[in-house]
Structure 1
Amino acid sequence: MSALTGTGTLVRLALRRDRLRLPIWVVVIPGLVTATASAIVELYPTMGERLALGLAIGANPALRALTGPIFDPSSAGGLTAWRVTGVAAVLTSLLSVLFVTRHTRAEEETGRAELIGAGTVGRHALPAAAVLVAGAANLAVALLSALGLATRGLPVSGALAFGLSVAGTGWVFTGVAALTAQLTETARAANAIALAALGLAFLLRAAGDAADGDTLSWLSPLGWAQRVRAFADERWTVFALFAVAAAALSAVAHLLAGRRDVGTGLLSSRRGPATAAPRLSGPTALAWRLHRGVLLGWVIAFTVVGAVFGALALSVGDIVDDNPQLAALMAGFGGAGAVVDAFLATVMSLLGMVAAGYAVQAALRPRAEEVAARAEPVLAAAVSRWRWPAGHLVWALGGATTVLAVAGLAAGLAHGIRVGDPAGQALRITGAALAQAPAVWVMAGVAVLLFGFVPRLTSLAWAVLGAFVLLGQLGRLLGIDERIQDLSPFAHLPRVPGGEATFGPLAWLVVVAAALVLAGLAGFRRRDLTGG
């Protein structure tokens, strides 16, 4: 029997299991790309308008950090590639990571992989099937995106280059997920490592583009996608980087899969002591034990990101000072200082959306404990239905606030050291980071509400977060009604530092978050375990 025996059957099984999830990804991403292209064609019909926008983009490091550089502002295709390449590449990477982990490590964690392996199935059939289906889904996204762009009158070669650049990024992170699935014993840890790699790729790309240089950006697959230069004298040779990286990662994953037992990871879990320390008594202490590793990783990541962007902030003002025309233009808006504050406000807003990912992940940890049958023994003791999930919420809400605070502090210190006011800038920018917290708490509340009433649909919390992020990034461009955009809690946050801080909307967000959390806890108290 070959190591790949049964791969075709497992491919069909994966497609059957994800017959609803995969089509949503494959349709939504190209739909978003096509809608963006249509909006740009309508909003900037003349070359003069497009060139003016391109000049503003090129002079704004905050925009370059967020969305990447623009290579051809004279064409609608060039503007489309600038605006949506990064978004589409991140979404296909998420698709790849979540799908591959679900059909590899999660199968081993639940014991289904061992059951499948007892049949006529080769040792590597399960990961091979996951990689094949994820790769095919990425290709479908590429072809549908290219078709949508071509139907909007954009050049076919540019549309094809755009689609393949997005798919190429997805293929790389398919390999990343296949590799992380071999390293850990849980799907949660495998996802965390793979998503950390995606976050690092974004950081490298953003830092490189904000500094108006290519070195760091070339270290990131997200940077490769943009350096394909769709609709701007395409660089087809860049696709060799995607092919080599994806093949190498998949080959290493294949090699490692043959060197471990089913259900284990190469990074084995450390055995704990026979008895717990007194400080671990109680549901909140237990939750801390479960959350502390992940929280530490997020704190380290946010500290690094905050320090990097804080150190870059002064360079934004230097660009204005070195350009007399731009300096004159910005004088009416507060000069270089206003540009620096706008850059920092954009960074804090972005970090707030990312921190919401931690909040959702931590708030859904009780559901993972419930599915793994670890909740029932805890609740069989003298632990109420309120205290157990509330213990996790302490670290979901407090942990998200902590990662925002350390990011703001690191950014403020890095920026303050460069301008000679570390204490003042640290206080100011930490406050700006913490202003994102109420919206992050609302997202945790959404997760708790789903956990309490429809636990089988808790993954919708991620869909809601994704929808809110897309509304914030593309809502105005796509002409979405402001009332719909206002559904996002991030739409009500102040643009600080630099903008006016209004506390009314923040207070309302806190009230909404509290209501969602209390409703979710009440729902959990009234339902059966593993129900929904």
Structure 2
Amino acid sequence: MSALAGTGTLGRLALRRDRLMTPLWAVVVGGLAASGVGSLATLYDTAAKRAEMAASMNANSSMRSLYGPVFSDSVGGLAAWRFGTFTAVLAAVMSLIIVVRHTREEEETGRQEMLSAGMVGRRAPLTAALLAALVANAAVALIVTAGLAGQGAGGALALGLAVGGTGMLFATTAAIAAQLTESARLAKGLTAAVLGLAFGLRAAGDAGTAGGSSVLTWLSPIGWAENVRAFAGERWWVLLLIALAVAVQAAVAYGLAGRRDVGMSFLPARPGPAEGRIATVGGLAWRLQRGGLLGWSAGFLVAGLAFGGMADGAAELVGDNERARQIFERMGGQAGLSNAFLATMAGLFGMIGSLYVVGSVLRLHGEETSQRAEPLLASAVGRLRWAAGHLAIAFGGAVVIMLLAGTGLAVSYGRDFGPIVGACLVQLPATWVLGGLAVLLWGAMPKAAVAAWGVAGLALALGWIGPALDLPRSVLDLSPFGHLPKLPGGAMEWPPTLVLAGVTVALVGVGLAALRRRDLTT
């Protein structure tokens, strides 16, 4: 039997399972760059304004570390600078989720062993997963190219291929991680760590070099996507470097896949102590989720330190561009541009923090579908008690990461410690609402639990892109973050925050009540 036997069937199954997730990711990731072109053209409607903006960005090391250098002051060049790095990172996240889902997760749940009992080759599951990732990244590349084609076909194609190629590069990285580790959680964590290292190398390299790219930038795959230089004299040969890395990593993954049994790994989990040291379900929840919380905490603290130092320079960066000032004020309030900038950053931290809450809540869904919860609940442990441990980590962890984000902002800004930390903490009710919705979906409709990611992504898109697109207030208010007071600088408004907290309690209560009444894994 061929090692690729059954690839077509498994590929169709993967695409069917991803029929909602892949289009959603493709539209969000690809549409991010495409939707920003119009706002940039409106903000910087003359060559002089664009040149001034590019010069100010390149002179600011913090902005270079965040977005990279500006290689061209055309509208297309500014769009590639503003959105290229982040769309590449999002494509990488999309890809690692897809590949791990159809490889290690299938083995972890036992479904792959059942499928492999039929006419399925040893390397067919890995091939099907990579083909699913290829379809998703091709869709992202197509949307990016079509969205920016009006600024120049060559530059649009280069940016689309750079974003899609980066996604495929990390798809093959995830494929290797899936062979090395015993669990999907570790495979995702290892790939995410590589992605974080790549972003950090690029940020450090760009921050230290004002006129171009440093050695550190070239050590990062994210830096390779940046150095394709879309709309700035495209370097097509860099795409060959990305393609070579994809081919090498795919070869390594295929080699590893052919040398192990289904369900096994090259890095087996370390055995635990002879006598158990976890006495409560809360302790077990902490053991399972502490790594994620520590990672999010460190990331939010570092991000707060980075963004806080930019607040005083916000007025200089915006200059006399009234349109840019209006966007900041729509996002962060109207009590001075520095306060508006800080309020914008606090809101952004809150929206991103909701992803942590949703992910932590849905860990319950993962424990249930992997059948690890059933043996636990067969003992003297009730469902509510089991769920409470994970929910405490989810909702309490949000307090920790927002507190650290506010501390980082305030320390880097150098003053107004209390108001800035308070501005971050006031985001919690909206963050909790999205977590409460995840509890409701998991408790009442477990098959639809993953839709919580879509709702959190929609809230992030409305808060991040909505003001730049000048969406009406009624649309922006679809996100719970649209009802929060704009702090620091604005007045504290208790009624909406208390209402959001009450909505969270209601959502969690209904979700847990539904959990008690349904069968597990149904």
TM-score, normalised by the number of residues in structure 2? 0.83
Partner of 1:458: 449
Report 1:51-450 matches (<5 A).
51=51, 54=54, 66-73=66-73, 75-150=74-149, 153-206=150-203, 213=210, 214-215=213-214, 216-273=216-273, 275-277=275-277, 280-281=279-280, 283-306=281-304, 309=306, 314=309, 348-409=346-407, 415=412, 430-450=421-441
SS in 2 for 1:280: coil
Contact 1:405 1:434 (C-alpha < 8 Å) held by counterparts: yes
CA gap 1:343/1:120 in 2 versus in 1, 3 angstroms: same
Q: Say whether 1:478 aligns with 2:469.
A: yes
Contact 1:203 1:305 (C-alpha < 8 Å) held by counterparts: no
Structure 1 residues 211-245: Cα deviation after superposition (integer angstroms, max 9, x where no partner): 66444544443343333222222222332342233
Q: Say whether 1:518 aligns with 2:496.
A: no
CA gap 1:316/1:398 in 2 versus in 1, 3 angstroms: closer
Contact 1:175 1:253 (C-alpha < 8 Å) held by counterparts: yes
Structure 1 residues 156-177: Cα deviation after superposition (integer angstroms, max 9, x where no partner): 1111111111112111211221
CA gap 1:246/1:14 in 2 versus in 1, 3 angstroms: same
Gapped runs of 5+ residues in structure 2? Answer: 330-335
Gapped runs of 5+ residues in structure 1? Answer: none
Contact 2:68 2:206 (C-alpha < 8 Å) held by counterparts: yes
CA gap 1:479/1:233 in 2 versus in 1, 3 angstroms: same
Choose from 492, 497, 500 the match for 1:502: 492
Contact 1:348 1:436 (C-alpha < 8 Å) held by counterparts: yes
SS in 1 for 2:118: coil
Contact 1:446 1:516 (C-alpha < 8 Å) held by counterparts: yes
Q: Distance in 2 between matches of 1:473 and 1:113?
A: 39
SS in 2 for 1:147: helix
Contact 1:218 1:224 (C-alpha < 8 Å) held by counterparts: yes
**1:373 CA displacement:** 2.5
Q: Distance in 1 between matches of 2:301 and 2:66?
A: 18
CA RMSD of aligned residues (A): 3.6
Which has the higher mean CA deviation after the structures are superposed, 1-10 or 184-193? 1-10
Contact 1:353 1:440 (C-alpha < 8 Å) held by counterparts: yes
Q: Distance in 2 between matches of 1:98 and 1:114?
A: 21
SS in 2 for 1:478: coil
**1:296 CA displacement:** 3.3
**1:49 CA displacement:** 5.3
Contact 2:176 2:253 (C-alpha < 8 Å) held by counterparts: yes
Structure 1 residues 402-424: Cα deviation after superposition (integer angstroms, max 9, x where no partner): 233344445655x38xx6xxxx7
Q: Distance in 1 between matches of 2:505 and 2:54?
A: 43
Q: Distance in 2 between matches of 1:520 and 1:369?
A: 17
**1:62 CA displacement:** 6.3
**1:186 CA displacement:** 1.8
Q: Distance in 2 between matches of 1:125 and 1:12?
A: 12
Contact 1:37 1:149 (C-alpha < 8 Å) held by counterparts: yes
Q: Distance in 2 between matches of 1:13 and 1:394?
A: 36
Q: Distance in 2 between matches of 1:142 and 1:454?
A: 33
Q: Distance in 1 between matches of 2:483 and 2:56?
A: 25
CA gap 1:62/1:510 in 2 versus in 1, 3 angstroms: farther
**1:470 CA displacement:** 1.5
Q: Distance in 2 between matches of 1:519 and 1:300?
A: 33
CA gap 1:528/1:319 in 2 versus in 1, 3 angstroms: closer
Contact 2:108 2:370 (C-alpha < 8 Å) held by counterparts: no
CA gap 1:455/1:101 in 2 versus in 1, 3 angstroms: same
Partner of 1:15: 15
Q: Distance in 1 between matches of 2:146 and 2:358?
A: 35
Contact 2:314 2:341 (C-alpha < 8 Å) held by counterparts: no
**1:397 CA displacement:** 1.0
CA gap 1:486/1:320 in 2 versus in 1, 3 angstroms: closer
How many residue pairs match? The answer is 504
CA gap 1:30/1:210 in 2 versus in 1, 3 angstroms: same
SS in 2 for 1:246: helix
**1:280 CA displacement:** 1.6
Q: Distance in 2 between matches of 1:476 and 1:212?
A: 32
Partner of 2:333: none
Q: Distance in 2 between matches of 1:32 and 1:316?
A: 24
Percent identity for Structure 1 against Structure 2: 49
